[in-house]
Structure 1
Amino acid sequence: MATQSTDTQTREVRATAKFVRVSPRKARLVVDLIRGKSVEQAFEILQFCERAVAVDVEKVLRSAVANAENNHLMRAGDLIVKYAFVDEGPSLKRIRPRAKGSASRILKRTSHISVIVAPRKEA
């Protein structure tokens, strides 16, 4: 579910994963670790990160690097993570039965994870 776009002047390449079933608050903790790092450092950080969302963030980062290599003829060793952010997606609303016939609402949150990579010399 990754999409790509590019800005022709700054040579930024994007990948986005939408509707990832994780809370944006939890995903932002992992995304903050890789922002501004080189791609190699980001992969190492995500490989040893113990949070489950690190797998999804790594998948988006791999997609962004693949887009840069295949569509824009950039080398993976020259790329840095210029921007990485998590937007809130739609929440799934569920009901939990409570005492005396009442109910409580449960919000199962989703996230849109975006990673933008750019060549090292421009960032």
Structure 2
Amino acid sequence: MIRIKRNRTRIYALGYHIPMSAHKARRVIDQIRGRSYEETLMILELMPYRASYSIFKLVYSAAANASDNMGSDETNLIICAAQVNEGTTVKKLKPRARGRSYPIKRPTCHIFIEVQDISLYEGEYLIDPYIHKDYLASLKKPSYSLQKPSYLLKIKKPRWKKRYTHMIDANVYSSGGLWDKK
């Protein structure tokens, strides 16, 4: 019997029963998936959503786990996986007029964030398909430019053009008529 020893290069952080909708948390998670740790912290600080604070704490916790367990530097970390699942729904009844009750549903969600140290993969390609080689090369460069990676520049522009011009009927703004009487 041969045992394959797997190298643990991915460290994760879990958040259970976070009091928000999974749909609202996914809106933020989709923005940080595949990005570097430092870039993720900047994005989460500037986002106006309530979910960004909980996700910020989880990303910070995952990076602390990586530096504590593997001794990795925070500048070499990327968010390799991030997902949000629906949790339990807290159901309450609120009293209303004439002795009636109104149901209140408070959704919760479970957030999973996994970070990976890219310094362990010098010269190799990561297995994750959504992390592109050009993006990893841009992370290793010391300059922090705001240019888009080359794989994002290949997106085609729409074929349609602005076909309609502003056409105003002369009778719309005319004075007098049936509706002008007081």
Normalised to the residue count of structure 1, the TM-score between the two structures is 0.86
Letter in 1 for 2:56: E
**Among residues 3, 12, 15, which one is paired with 2:13 in the alignment?**
15
Identify which of 101, 116, 119 aligns with 1:118.
116
Corresponding residue for residue 49 of structure 2: 51
Q: Is residue 94 of structure 1 aligned with residue 92 of structure 2?
A: yes
Q: Which amino acid aligns with 1:83?
A: A
CA distance in 2, matches of 1:86, 1:106: 22
Unpaired segments ≥5 residues, structure 2: 1-5, 129-182
* Separation (CA, whole Å) in 1 of partners of 2:20 and 2:42: 22
CA separation in 1, counterparts of 2:70 and 2:88?
32
Of the two, which has the highest radius of gyration? Answer: 2
Aligned mates of 1:80, 1:92 — CA distance in 2 = 34
Q: Structure 1 residue 104 and structure 2 residue 102: aligned?
A: yes
CA distance in 1, matches of 2:60, 2:79: 11
The alignment yields a C-alpha RMSD, in angstroms, of 1.6
Paired letter, 1:48: L
Deviation per residue, 1:87-113 (Å, 9 max, x gap): 111110011345554433221011111
Q: Which has the higher helix share?
A: 1
Deviation at 1:62, TM superposition (A): 0.3
Question: 3-state DSSP class of the match of 1:109?
Answer: strand
DSSP 3-state at the match of 1:73: coil
> Which fold has the larger relative contact order, with Cα–Cα distance below 8 Å and residues 6 or more apart in sequence?
1
1:79 aligns with 2:104: no
Quote the residue 1:69 is aligned against. Answer: 67
Q: Which has the higher strand share?
A: 1
Structure-2 residue corresponding to 1:28: 26
Contiguous gaps of at least 5 residues in structure 1: 1-7
